[in-house]
Structure 1
């Protein structure tokens, strides 16, 4: 497979997953604040921190408030992590590999793109974003389903899965970190009804509430952290995502368990092994924010190694700067119209 094709498949999946997760963050936060812009103003700022775009946001909009945060994360074409930008980048990557992806995948992505474009031209979307966020999630699920059902599970499919799962693991880590580190305004709220509501919102943002209830029942912070970080059966848990991404890397390179043939496999194996032998008590003792910060740095290094091992150094203009994660500025990316 050409490295250009592998890169496009990988980033197509990452951008679709990123758009879905931004929609999840917005929808849950909107429900948590009941859509208020003033009395819950401080609760909109963490959404910008979640995507790692607080600096460009502050430069353009100033202090966070409901309307500006929604505009920035939903439809701002100058924000490379907005839903509109992500879907545009995904479509452009798909356009360059039309011969690789099934027709139904291309058609579904086109419908996704035009749905977002249409919503961006409708002012009412910003007033009531829940319906739009739900449509984004469903469009993403349909696209993933079409890929799973109609694309041969060869190298291209594995690159697609690696991209999707690395992005998903990164976003799950960010929503857990934001809840622990930013969203809880007062230590006196710990253990109260407000605290339970917040943790329930966190689980809903990962579509994890029902599965968590089935496994643990009562909502407690340490169990929520354990479920979203270390669980090996829930599809949006960080550990699950990395294990499946590691499986796909092995299928691409042909290596066996316990061995590695390149830097990406080595770094992924080290990160997975660390999680295999980590308990939630170890994480809490270290400090959850510190653990998440270290995890994200290691995941960033995995992404950089994937780029070095599999992709060419000279990419199309639409792909420039893609190896940077949300924790770094992506302003170097060219805008795709």
Structure 2
């Protein structure tokens, strides 16, 4: 298929996944702050630092307040990572490949953008923010379901899946790197700690599946579940395994071998997680801070994304 078509499909999927993840993080932060003191803005500061641009935010909004952060991450058209902006880019990419994707995919991508745009212009967001973010997540899920049900599972579908799962793996690592999850006691013994870890699991729609697997919330187990699980679809390891499958399907090479840089980088990163344990994420010399591991992981993810662009989407 044409490289420009593959590029548009890859980024269409990635932008829709990004919008969903931002909605998850904002909604989880709103829920968390209901149980915190009214003047505690640390969670909002961390939110801007993790999925926004703190310098840009400070220049245009000043001190992070709930209302300002919500505006910045949801409807701000000058923020390249707001929900509205990412959906506008997803819609434009979908429009460019309407002859490749199914009509149902185009209709859902278009409807998704228009619904969020309407909420921004009509002010419907302020009255029921939780309902709005829930609708964003469900619209993203609907797009994925429509894609899997109406698109042939060939090259285009695999580029779509790689884009979605690379973005998902990155955002899972991103939220795990938030300071409060690396600066509190890993025993998770206090009420505030329990609220934080429960909120993290809810942001990944992982609370129920985590409890089925481990029962009581233990921070070390949370890192293990969200990074190393082969079965949970929002875990980083799961995402990478599916990306490896797709890149081999596109290239036509056998599993366990590689003929190009994306196969090598994705395969190596997946293999690292194949044999990793929680002690690699939280090593004895730094048992309370996973950020060195997460920073390396995200850097390697970016390198894999760059390799995909250079190999399959050359200008």
**Who is 1:226 aligned against?**
224
- Output one character per residue of 1:112-165: Cα deviation in whole Å (capped at 9) or x when no partner: 111000110133513541111001001000011000000000000000000000
Does 1:177 find its partner at 2:182? Answer: no
**Which range moved further: 272-281 or 47-56?**
47-56
**Who is 2:266 aligned against?**
268
Does 1:10 find its partner at 2:27? Answer: no
Residues 188 and 218, structure 2, Cα contact 8 Å, conserved in 1:
no
Give the C-alpha shift of residue 60 in structure 1. 1.6
Q: 1-side partners of 2:313 and 2:175: how far apart? A: 29
Q: 2-side partners of 1:206 and 1:107: how far apart? A: 27
Cα distance 1:71–1:240, how it changes in 2: closer, same or farther (>3 A)? same
**Who is 2:83 aligned against?**
83
**Which range moved further: 297-306 or 60-69?**
60-69
**Who is 2:28 aligned against?**
28
**Who is 2:201 aligned against?**
203
Q: 2-side partners of 1:251 and 1:186: how far apart? A: 43
**Who is 1:311 aligned against?**
313
Q: 2-side partners of 1:209 and 1:4: how far apart? A: 39
Does 1:299 find its partner at 2:290? Answer: no
Q: RMSD in angstroms over aligned alpha carbons?
A: 1.8
Give the C-alpha shift of residue 235 in structure 1. 0.2
Residue 253 of structure 2: which of 249, 252, 255 is its match?
Answer: 255
- Output one character per residue of 1:62-94: Cα deviation in whole Å (capped at 9) or x when no partner: 221111100000000011100000110000000
* TM-score normalised to structure 1 length: 0.89
Residues 240 and 266, structure 2, Cα contact 8 Å, conserved in 1:
yes
Structure 1: which 4+ aligned runs deviate by more than 6 Å? none
The aligned runs of 1:232-243 (5 Å cut-off) are 232-243=230-241
**Which range moved further: 185-194 or 88-97?**
185-194
**Which range moved further: 289-298 or 128-137?**
128-137
Where 1:234 maps in the other structure, the secondary structure is: coil
Where 1:44 maps in the other structure, the secondary structure is: helix
Cα distance 1:189–1:129, how it changes in 2: closer, same or farther (>3 A)? farther
Cα distance 1:296–1:184, how it changes in 2: closer, same or farther (>3 A)? closer
- Output one character per residue of 1:277-317: Cα deviation in whole Å (capped at 9) or x when no partner: 1100121115411000000000000000000000022xxxx
Q: 1-side partners of 2:65 and 2:35: how far apart? A: 11
Cα distance 1:227–1:188, how it changes in 2: closer, same or farther (>3 A)? closer
The aligned runs of 1:38-77 (5 Å cut-off) are 38-77=38-77
Q: 1-side partners of 2:160 and 2:99: how far apart? A: 15
**Which range moved further: 155-164 or 264-273?**
264-273
Give the C-alpha shift of residue 183 in structure 1. 5.6
Does 1:117 find its partner at 2:97? Answer: no
Cα distance 1:210–1:24, how it changes in 2: closer, same or farther (>3 A)? same
Q: 2-side partners of 1:118 and 1:35: how far apart? A: 31
Residues 173 and 238, structure 1, Cα contact 8 Å, conserved in 2:
yes
Residues 46 and 183, structure 1, Cα contact 8 Å, conserved in 2:
no
Where 1:210 maps in the other structure, the secondary structure is: helix
Residues 6 and 156, structure 1, Cα contact 8 Å, conserved in 2:
yes
Count of aligned positions: 311
Q: 1-side partners of 2:85 and 2:21: how far apart? A: 14
Q: 2-side partners of 1:37 and 1:3: how far apart? A: 51
Where 2:139 maps in the other structure, the secondary structure is: helix
Residues 37 and 67, structure 1, Cα contact 8 Å, conserved in 2:
no
Residues 162 and 248, structure 1, Cα contact 8 Å, conserved in 2:
yes
List runs of 5+ in structure 2 lacking aligned partners: none
Q: 1-side partners of 2:188 and 2:240: how far apart? A: 31
Cα distance 1:101–1:124, how it changes in 2: closer, same or farther (>3 A)? closer
Give the C-alpha shift of residue 182 in structure 1. 3.4
